[in-house]
Structure 1
Amino acid sequence: MSETDTPMVDDLEHELRAEGVRITRQRVAILSALANSSDHPSAEEVLERSRKQDSSVSLATVYRTLSILEGRGTILRNEFDGTGARFELANKPHHDHLIDVDTGDVIEFISPRIEELQAEIARELGYDIVHHRLELYGKVRNRD
């Protein structure tokens, strides 16, 4: 199975077709780049990765494709301080982010303790949480 012939690429193609978008070689390269991303790429990084498969991919096609997928809720746009828009597939379980302020690296983490504390705080204030996003910004500690 090639990296463009995966269930995730098929799912992403389905989302584009549902919007009446034609599936071109360029779009398949973009979808493959997204489906095979383990990080949170920017549009420019999606472009760079897509061009490894098809050198004719344009930044405009990347932006249009990302916009359609975001509008359908298939991908999430993250706006981390100072890093610009970064994208990730929306099919992951809920998680939070730690952003390295020196490198811009984004580390995903899951903490049941944090989830419980947030729910407790909301309850004490008379609310139920319907959505939240937690972003921590940090620097690697010196390991002296």
Structure 2
Amino acid sequence: MENQQIKQAGLKVTLPRVKILKILETSDRRHLSAEDVYKELLANGEEIGLATVYRVLTQFEGAGLVCRQHFEGGQSVFELNRGGHHDHLVCIKCGKVVEFVDEVIEERQKRVASDRGFKLADHSLVIYGSCNGCEEDPDHRRSDSRA
């Protein structure tokens, strides 16, 4: 499946691209930094450099295979582009990221833009706070989920 996705995105199928796409598809976490991908490659015994990981992720972003998110803290994370818009909740203590879709929020954002003379082209909503895990157990493991 990875080969077909890479070809459809207009990219040449190379071993690094296949391996990186596979990690994005199979990881327990949906939002991975380039360093996260690199560590997974190392754990799998792959010899693909960090610079190559950054380059491939940037190529994937340009081809529309992944979306880059810039959460507070400055580190970019990447997620597969599965179509459809969603927003994010980010825990400021452990870094947990939860995706959500709320039609009321979506409609309100469109209305706010329209009321101010804007035609909405795109938007990104990130809500920062503390997850239940950090509130109950500050030592819990970071996770990444979709709601």
| TM-score w.r.t. length of structure 1 | 0.80
The answer to whether the 8 Å contact 1:32/1:50 transfers is no
Q: Judging changes above 3 Å, is the alpha-carbon distance between structure 1 residues 27 and 53 closer, same or farther for their aligned structure 2 residues?
A: farther
Contact (CA 8 Å) 2:96, 2:131: kept in 1 or not? no
Percent identity for Structure 1 against Structure 2: 35
Letter in 1 for 2:3: D
Q: Equivalents in 2 of 1:12, 1:29: separation in Å?
A: 13
> 1:95 and 2:86 equivalent?
yes
How far off its partner does 1:136 sit? 0.6
5+ residue gaps in structure 2? 137-147
Secondary structure, counterpart of 1:120 in structure 2:
helix
Which residue in the other structure is 2:22 paired with? 32
Q: Deviations over 1:58-86 (max 9, x none)?
A: 21221111111112222111110105010
Letter in 1 for 2:105: I
Aligned partners of 1:74 and 1:90 also within 8 Å: yes
Offset at residue 22 of structure 1 (A): 5.1
Which structure exhibits the higher relative contact order, with contacts defined as CA atoms closer than 8 Å and separated by 6 or more residues?
A: 2
What secondary structure, in the 3-state scheme, does the structure 2 residue paired with 1:77 have?
A: strand
| CA distance in structure 2 between the partners assigned to 1:52 and 1:29 by the alignment | 12
- Asked if 2 retains the 8 angstrom alpha-carbon contact of 1:15 and 1:69, the reply is no
**RMSD over equivalenced CA pairs, Å:** 2.1
Q: Deviations over 1:27-46 (max 9, x none)?
A: 32211001223420000111
Task: Give the Cα–Cα distance (whole angstroms) in 2 for the partners of residues 11 and 105 of structure 1.
Answer: 31
Q: 1:118 aligns to what?
A: 109
Once the two structures are superposed, residues 83-140 of structure 1 have per-residue CA deviations (whole angstroms, 9 ceiling, x without a partner) of: 5010011223200011100011111000011011111112222222111111110113
Residue from 68, 77, 84 that aligns with 2:59? 68
CA–CA distance in structure 2, aligned partners of residues 31 and 130 of structure 1: 28
User: Given the alignment, which residue of 14, 30, 36 partners 2:7?
Assistant: 14
Give the match for residue 59 of structure 1.
50
